[in-house]
Amino acid sequence: MASLATAELCDANPALIAKGELRVLQPVFQMFGQCRAFCGPIVTLRVFEDNVLVRELLESPGDGRVLVIDGGGSMRCALVGGNLGQLAQNMGWAGILVNGCIRDVDEINGCDVGVRALGSHPLKSNKKGLGEKHVSVNVGGAVIQDGEWLYADSDGILISKTEISI
């Protein structure tokens, strides 16, 4: 799926921004993966230092969707590593946004998927299977709902209530 420039989307949709239907995330996320620009419908996940549900979702067909993981902003371990980056690519996910850390940066950078995260951390996460899928999450200063749309490029990340165009 071709991505649209976030700056152009902002310029073309001031009414949506004013109404809060198009939100700009805080510029706190680092870029990883080969896809520097990506977009798609959102699947939400809330976990804390546990990535069992991350793997479970990425094992399902992505169909061009974007997995938004609210990891509580934890900087104590990684929620996504090289194996999950490769899985996301193989299963057709457009991207992953992690409110937390990733690891295996060189492996993820080799994957044809877009990844945004707060940073990298070498420690793997817990494996207890705790968390919630398809719930409202708070990431980058915005409340994000399952089914909304994410647009990401080198300028930033946008969240829209619906699919938008120029």
Predicted confidence at residue 122, as pLDDT, reads 98
Does the annotation place 13 within a ligand binding site? no
Alpha-carbon distance of 47 to 69, in angstroms, equals: 7
pLDDT tens track of the chain, all 166 residues? 456 799 999 999 999 999 999 999 999 999 999 999 999 999 999 999 999 999 999 999 999 999 999 999 999 999 999 999 999 999 999 999 999 999 999 999 999 999 999 999 999 999 999 999 999 999 999 999 999 999 999 999 999 999 998 7
81 is annotated as contributing to ligand binding: yes
**46 contacts: CB under 8 Å, gap ≥ 6:** 69, 70, 72, 131, 132, 135, 137
The answer to whether 103 is a known ligand-binding residue is: yes
- pLDDT given at position 1: 46
pLDDT of residue 166: 76
Alpha-carbon torsion (1, 93, 16, 156), positive or negative: negative
Tell me which fold the domain 6-158 belongs to.
Glucose Oxidase; domain 1 (3.50.30)
83 marked as binding residue: yes
The pTM for the full model equals: 0.96
pLDDT at 7: 96
Q: How far apart are CA 162 and CA 150, in angstroms?
A: 9
What DSSP string describes 73-138?
T--SSEEE-HHHHHHHHHTT--EEEEEEEE--HHHHHTSSSEEEEEEE-SSB-B-S---EES--EE
